[in-house]
Chain A
Amino acid sequence: MATGVLMPKVGITVESCVITKWYKKEGDAVSAGDVLFAYETDKASVEEEAKVDGTLIKIFAGEGADVPCLTNVAVIGNPGEDYSQFAPATEEEEEEKAEEPAAEVVKTEAKAEETPAAAPVKRAEGEILKISPRARTLAAKLGVDPNLVAGTGPYGRIVSSDIEAAAKDGKVFTKAALGAEGAANVSGTGIGGRVTLSDLANAPAAAEAAPVAEYEDVPLSNVRKIIARSMTTSLSTMAQLTNNTSFDASALLKYRKLLKEKGEALGVNGITISDIIIYAVSRTLKNHRSLNAHLLDDKMRYFNGVHIGIACDTERGLLVPTLFNADKMSLLEISKKSKEIIADTKAGKVSPDLLQGASFTVSNLGTMGIESFTPVINPPQTGILGLCATVERVRTVNGQITTYPAMGLSLTYDHRAVDGAPASLFLKELCTNLENIDLLLAK
């Protein structure tokens, strides 16, 4: 008897998954436990094993297909057996296609005259990009890549109307992608056709494969789709604002130095600055429950424990594993546990359940020299703390100009849930705790 192979539902909030690779093809014999295919949820990469023995008689969804959870992706049975009852609904298929026009790789060649604004442009070697200052400004604002735009102004110059047309046409970048090297030759698959960082990652191959084609549409990775959706939701539904401050990191750095130099015997030499800050955050949040909360439709959900989401930059995009009950952990425990979940996350094997449930998030861009930024809240959380770089600052002490290491903190909070004053109070207390980390640890 034939058995359908379902796309599993691996988390409560997971709605669909993308098949990234089939290990078996139609007609292959499979045994229970064989890996059938790999798929990506919004937050993790997972492999699905065959539950029964038999022959893989039909694959409904190929590589790259975004399949709703609990929908059949294949059928295992006996060769020749009827599998039609397992076929996913046609309507849904069509709907899926309509929603995902970029699912197919489309190569387009430049078309002259007719729709020049929409056509990517090939420039002769050494030919400069002719673009008006106005168009350049507008392109930056709309995230349009002028290299993909043909100019209709005098002497073939790209003018503002060309950029406007291109924006409608989808020749746009995400902010992150815009700054990246080699962004010029990539076509966008992000929101509104934006070129995303993941597009850039795929770019070299695409460029080699299609030397004549000026652009290439590549399906959006699921993780990226989720990030995009989540970020957009976050920014469009919440009243986010960011407070920036800094604290004197002398004590913190001194403590960290001590751990590093003398902590080996105690096994505490691997404790990082981030760990110490997460420790301080988990303690400080206890006094500021509106930031250790979720804002749901008509209620606030205050958490008893502090569950810190740790923003991780992975190959597949931003993932945020959760360090549950951080407030109950010692500094060493925090350090060990967070190392473990970060490593799992980067390796793509973290449990999807760990990728949710955080009550507050910490994001560290300081290691990359960022001095201040605007972290974006993971809904329905009410706050996220950005850790920024440590810079030398000047201050007067007893009339003498002295320098001290100042570490920046950027707190974004949802003003719907938290007002400016309490958010600032949290930051203030956090700074005080960090500046007197020895005292906090003694508590």
Chain B
Amino acid sequence: MPKNQFVHHDEMRKAGKIKFTDIPVNQYKKTIKQELEEGNFTKKDLLGIYEDMLAIREFETMLQTIKLEANYNGKDFTYPGPSHLAIGEEATAVGQAYLLDENDFIFGTHRSHHEVIAKGLSCIRKMSDKKLIEIMESVQGGRIYKLIKEKSTAKNTKDLARDFFLYGLMAELFAKDNGFSRGLGGSMHAFFLPFGIFPNNAIVGGSAPVGTGVALFKKCNKKKGVIVANAGDGAAARGPVYESMNFANMDQYRELWEDGYKGGLPIIYNFNNNSYGMGGQTKGETMAYGELARLGAMAKNGMHAERVDGWNPLALIDAYRRLKPVAESGEGPVLLDVVTYRLSGHSTSDVMSYRTKEELEEWQAHDPIVAYPADLIKAGAATKKDIEKAQKVAAERNRAMFELASDLEISPYTDYKEHPDFIENFMFSREKAPKLSDDKPDVWLTKEENPRVQQIKNKARYAYDEKGKEYSKAKVFSIRDALFEPILDKFYEDPTLVAYGEDVRYWNGAFSVYRGLTEALPYHRLFNAPISESAIVGTAVGYGMAGGRALVELMYADFIGCAGDEIFNQLAKWQAMSAGGLKMPVVLRVSVGSKYGAQHSQDWTALCNHIPGLQVVFPATPYDAKGLMTTALNGTDPVVFFESQRIYDMGERFHKEGVPTESYEIPFGEPDIKKEGKDITILTIGATLYRVMDAVKILEEKYGISAEVIDARSVTPFNYEKVIESVKKTGKILLASDAVTRGSVLNDFSHNISELCFDYLDAPPAIVGAENWITPPFEYDAEFFPQVSWILDAINEKLIPLKGHVSTKNYTPTEQIRKAKLGV
């Protein structure tokens, strides 16, 4: 917290009470006639709402039929994927989309076909023919457009666009190569960016942090439009959703951020409340809120929360007409509790063990797809003929597009045999994009004026002086400085770069890497995040997805656990799930602790390495830290950037020319030979390098064994060639890192090396990692983390018997088996 915000003793301890303002519940009272009289809608608009509802009903009914009968429209067809249908929720989606345009972005859930279709059709109504054609031509090189032009019977551009959109969506669901994401997104991840439809998220509540990040991007980069983060009522139980709603509404936006950037994030948390989280009833069973809208009370501004009748599209449109400007103006965010009901099951395998027939029939009696057109006719807004025509058009369009999307010739599946690298090519975007916008970066100082820059000028960029004496910590250019330099440079290069995390602004990050940034950067580029790891990473995902570059940090690597979904399911996946449609220029800094015990000292490179789609690096020297950070910040792929608290103050001991002042990249995946040798290879990850160097000295001086030391630097990707070369020479390799041994990256490396160098090995690769325990207090550090003696012991036991060496650590096979049996 900044010092200008005083925490008053008297204020904090004063008696009083907190007053809440009333939360409106279903207050919409207007009739269709009134709406027409007020000029809010034309008859055509009202009929259009029905047409869009019908498109959804047709689509969902088609899926239900296919799932249950393996046939639709007389044609056998199977679709094995998910089908979380929204039959009954059509009005809810169309009402939401009615006022949104392509600058307003929606995010969905596992049940979002209706939201996607409604938003797409709404955009098609609003867009010019020219714009629509431009979009259709740009999607997948125009091949879908070409196909639809040839096959469609549409007589105008808008109808053609409707065919195009429905077809692309259907093909996506059916996992066809012509899908908008080449079939890699599917039902639960369908989206279409040109119409402002962002990815649906199959993780409950997953859209909240990601959508919040896009809202942050809009705010920080002054982009038009609001975000609608859709969620079900079940998602109201998810922590990341609360984290996000708080993140979007932090006091600092109003109290601290500069003029022009003041106000809450432009986002509407739209809970489509169908009273069920899968089959669990929220109100009455799993939730405590009574009414979902009450959750707005978590914020001072009440989040303008309302319960709105989502079964009346006009009620929802009314709410959006009033509240979208609120969200856009910075008064938000907004929370909507939208009443809806699904007449279909949670999925087609739902046997409805959780609700009665009577309940269902009661809601069916008010099915909007019947009630709304009846109201239109009653109000004289449409004729029976209009309604019947709309039904016919919707049914015919859906059937025609199904014929195309289900056809194996017209819409083939991706041939993986022909394109074995199909997904491989989408796992990373592999672009170099030093800046993501040409705008002028917003900074407060010139780089030269920066006090940290001036301080660094006097530091020694190589650890040793001419006489070989090591500079003191105070005088040496450290890893801390080496991280600061490329980050500062990037702030002056890429105007979209934002950095946030816990205590990054005034504390300068818990380990002072950011010292000097506070003076240089406005709040909207560097700010303290709430202690909300899910929101920190999830918003970064959204920020990157929206076209910005985010540098976020989790302080301790252990907190990866708090942001598990956001790192493993969101950050890692969206580039490939969008078939390359989305980029993810996000750098996630995590620091491996020491001294702070079991929950603050874990090297979790293995967890990140395990998840496809993440790049994982772990520099151990200033030279590598700077080069790898530069690469990370120039790229468009997600990076989990590991640092070690043991060595933030370490000078450059290896690169004799010192750490260059100018910018340079170190390519990911390239290990570095820190010391050449001929008898044994030692491959390290992270700070263990320095203990290995000490062990190497003993090996050489006492045992005459010459060791080659390779620093992995990167975990994913990793180029084995240098290691293979070395092992071919030495025939022996030891791998060391501070991660607990079981399941560590070393095992992965070791396995690959065994395979790649089998005939060159004199012994299986030996691994020295931490014990498979909790980290004990720092007083027992040497009992838990790899030590110099452990490295020698392992070499003696497993690689080269060292004459006269007395082992202190038990590396025998018996011990290995015993420990494994006990799971320790």
Chain A residues 118 to 156 lying within 8 A of chain B, measured CB to CB, are 132-137, 152-154
A134-B762 CB under 8 A given contacts A159-B731, A160-B731: yes
CB atoms of B759 and A133 under 8 A apart: yes
Bitwise, A161-191 to B at CB < 8 A (1) or not (0) is 0000000000000000000000000000000
A415 to B799 CA separation, bound complex (whole angstroms): 47
CB atoms of A154 and B731 under 8 A apart: no
CB atoms of A133 and B800 under 8 A apart: no
CB atoms of A154 and B799 under 8 A apart: yes
State whether the Cβ of A157 lies closer than 8 Å to any Cβ in chain B: yes
Chain B residues 310 to 346 lying within 8 A of chain A, measured CB to CB, are none
Q: Nearest CB to that of A131 among chain B residues?
A: B762
Give every chain A residue within 8 A of B798 (Cβ-Cβ).
Answer: 154
Q: Write the nearest CB–CB distance from B480 to chain A, whole angstroms.
A: 41
CB atoms of B759 and A134 under 8 A apart: yes
CB atoms of A134 and B800 under 8 A apart: no
State whether the Cβ of B761 lies closer than 8 Å to any Cβ in chain A: yes
A153-B759 CB under 8 A given contacts A134-B731, A160-B731: no
Give every chain B residue within 8 A of A134 (Cβ-Cβ).
Answer: 731, 759-762
Q: Nearest CB to that of A136 among chain B residues?
A: B759
A153-B761 CB under 8 A given contacts A132-B731, A134-B731, A160-B731: no
A132 to B800 CA separation, bound complex (whole angstroms): 12
Q: Write the nearest CB–CB distance from A265 to chain B, whole angstroms.
A: 61
CB atoms of A153 and B760 under 8 A apart: no
A329 to B38 CA separation, bound complex (whole angstroms): 123
Give every chain B residue within 8 A of A137 (Cβ-Cβ).
Answer: 759-760
State whether the Cβ of B797 lies closer than 8 Å to any Cβ in chain A: yes
A136 to B798 CA separation, bound complex (whole angstroms): 18
CB atoms of A154 and B801 under 8 A apart: yes
Give every chain A residue within 8 A of B801 (Cβ-Cβ).
Answer: 152-154
Bitwise, B753-792 to A at CB < 8 A (1) or not (0) is 0000011111100000000000000000000000000000
CB atoms of A135 and B759 under 8 A apart: no
A43 to B797 CA separation, bound complex (whole angstroms): 54
A135 to B759 CA separation, bound complex (whole angstroms): 8
Q: Nearest CB to that of A155 among chain B residues?
A: B813
A137 to B728 CA separation, bound complex (whole angstroms): 12
Q: Nearest CB to that of B795 among chain A residues?
A: A154
Size of interface on B: residues with Cβ below 8 Å to A: 12
Bitwise, B785-815 to A at CB < 8 A (1) or not (0) is 0000000000001111100000000000000
Size of interface on A: residues with Cβ below 8 Å to B: 12
Q: Nearest CB to that of A159 among chain B residues?
A: B762
Contact with A157, one of B758, B759, B760, B763 (Cβ below 8 angstroms): B763
Q: Nearest CB to that of B811 among chain A residues?
A: A154
Q: Nearest CB to that of A161 among chain B residues?
A: B762
Tell me if A's interface is mostly helix, strand, loop or mixed. Answer: helix
Give every chain B residue within 8 A of A154 (Cβ-Cβ).
Answer: 763, 797-801
Q: Write the nearest CB–CB distance from B811 to chain A, whole angstroms.
A: 10
CB atoms of B797 and A133 under 8 A apart: no
Give every chain A residue within 8 A of B758 (Cβ-Cβ).
Answer: 133
Give every chain A residue within 8 A of B762 (Cβ-Cβ).
Answer: 132-135, 153, 157, 159-160
Give every chain A residue within 8 A of B761 (Cβ-Cβ).
Answer: 132-134
Q: Write the nearest CB–CB distance from B699 to chain A, whole angstroms.
A: 16
A160 to B759 CA separation, bound complex (whole angstroms): 11
Give every chain A residue within 8 A of B759 (Cβ-Cβ).
Answer: 133-134, 136-137
Q: Nearest CB to that of B798 among chain A residues?
A: A154
Give every chain A residue within 8 A of B763 (Cβ-Cβ).
Answer: 132, 153-154, 157, 159
CB atoms of B760 and A133 under 8 A apart: yes
Chain A residues 365 to 379 lying within 8 A of chain B, measured CB to CB, are none
Q: Write the nearest CB–CB distance from A210 to chain B, whole angstroms.
A: 32
Give every chain B residue within 8 A of A132 (Cβ-Cβ).
Answer: 731, 761-763
Chain B residues 251 to 271 lying within 8 A of chain A, measured CB to CB, are none
Give every chain B residue within 8 A of A153 (Cβ-Cβ).
Answer: 762-763, 799-801
Give every chain A residue within 8 A of B731 (Cβ-Cβ).
Answer: 132, 134, 159-160
A135 to B801 CA separation, bound complex (whole angstroms): 16
Q: Nearest CB to that of A156 among chain B residues?
A: B801
Q: Write the nearest CB–CB distance from B750 to chain A, whole angstroms.
A: 15
Q: Write the nearest CB–CB distance from B733 to chain A, whole angstroms.
A: 11
Give every chain A residue within 8 A of B760 (Cβ-Cβ).
Answer: 133-134, 137
Give every chain B residue within 8 A of A157 (Cβ-Cβ).
Answer: 762-763
A133 to B761 CA separation, bound complex (whole angstroms): 6
Q: Write the nearest CB–CB distance from A67 to chain B, whole angstroms.
A: 47
Bitwise, A248-278 to B at CB < 8 A (1) or not (0) is 0000000000000000000000000000000
Chain B residues 231 to 256 lying within 8 A of chain A, measured CB to CB, are none
Give every chain A residue within 8 A of B799 (Cβ-Cβ).
Answer: 153-154
Q: Write the nearest CB–CB distance from A186 to chain B, whole angstroms.
A: 26
A135 to B760 CA separation, bound complex (whole angstroms): 8
Chain B residues 718 to 733 lying within 8 A of chain A, measured CB to CB, are 731
Q: Write the nearest CB–CB distance from B33 to chain A, whole angstroms.
A: 85
Give every chain B residue within 8 A of A135 (Cβ-Cβ).
Answer: 762
Q: Nearest CB to that of B728 among chain A residues?
A: A134
Most chain A CB neighbours (cut-off 10 Å) among B760, B761, B762, B798: B762
Bitwise, B479-511 to A at CB < 8 A (1) or not (0) is 000000000000000000000000000000000
A133 to B757 CA separation, bound complex (whole angstroms): 9
Q: Write the nearest CB–CB distance from B796 to chain A, whole angstroms.
A: 8
Q: Write the nearest CB–CB distance from B757 to chain A, whole angstroms.
A: 8
A103 to B474 CA separation, bound complex (whole angstroms): 75
A204 to B761 CA separation, bound complex (whole angstroms): 35
A153 to B796 CA separation, bound complex (whole angstroms): 9
Q: Write the nearest CB–CB distance from A284 to chain B, whole angstroms.
A: 44
A154 to B800 CA separation, bound complex (whole angstroms): 6
Give every chain B residue within 8 A of A152 (Cβ-Cβ).
Answer: 801
Q: Write the nearest CB–CB distance from A151 to chain B, whole angstroms.
A: 10
Q: Write the nearest CB–CB distance from B704 to chain A, whole angstroms.
A: 13
Bitwise, A231-249 to B at CB < 8 A (1) or not (0) is 0000000000000000000
Q: Nearest CB to that of B799 among chain A residues?
A: A154
Q: Write the nearest CB–CB distance from B238 to chain A, whole angstroms.
A: 52
Q: Write the nearest CB–CB distance from A114 to chain B, whole angstroms.
A: 14
Q: Nearest CB to that of A157 among chain B residues?
A: B763
A153 to B801 CA separation, bound complex (whole angstroms): 6
Q: Write the nearest CB–CB distance from A283 to chain B, whole angstroms.
A: 48
Chain B residues 726 to 752 lying within 8 A of chain A, measured CB to CB, are 731
Q: Write the nearest CB–CB distance from B37 to chain A, whole angstroms.
A: 86
A160 to B800 CA separation, bound complex (whole angstroms): 11
Give every chain B residue within 8 A of A160 (Cβ-Cβ).
Answer: 731, 762
A132 to B761 CA separation, bound complex (whole angstroms): 6
Q: Write the nearest CB–CB distance from A128 to chain B, whole angstroms.
A: 15
Q: Write the nearest CB–CB distance from B180 to chain A, whole angstroms.
A: 49
Q: Nearest CB to that of B731 among chain A residues?
A: A134
Q: Write the nearest CB–CB distance from B728 to chain A, whole angstroms.
A: 9
Q: Write the nearest CB–CB distance from B162 to chain A, whole angstroms.
A: 56
Most chain B CB neighbours (cut-off 10 Å) among A136, A157, A159: A159
Most chain A CB neighbours (cut-off 10 Å) among B797, B799, B801: B801
Q: Write the nearest CB–CB distance from B457 to chain A, whole angstroms.
A: 51
Give every chain B residue within 8 A of A136 (Cβ-Cβ).
Answer: 759
18 contacts between A and B (CB under 8 A): A132-B731, A132-B761, A132-B762, A132-B763, A133-B758, A133-B760, A134-B759, A135-B762, A136-B759, A152-B801, A153-B799, A153-B800, A154-B763, A154-B797, A154-B798, A157-B763, A159-B731, A160-B762
The chain B residues found within 8 Å of chain A, CB to CB, are 731, 758-763, 797-801
> A133-B760, A134-B761 provided; 12 other pairs, C-beta below 8 A?
A132-B761, A134-B731, A134-B762, A136-B759, A137-B759, A152-B801, A153-B799, A153-B801, A157-B763, A159-B800, A160-B731, A160-B762
Leading 4 A-B pairs by shortest Cβ distance: A132-B762, A159-B762, A134-B731, A134-B762
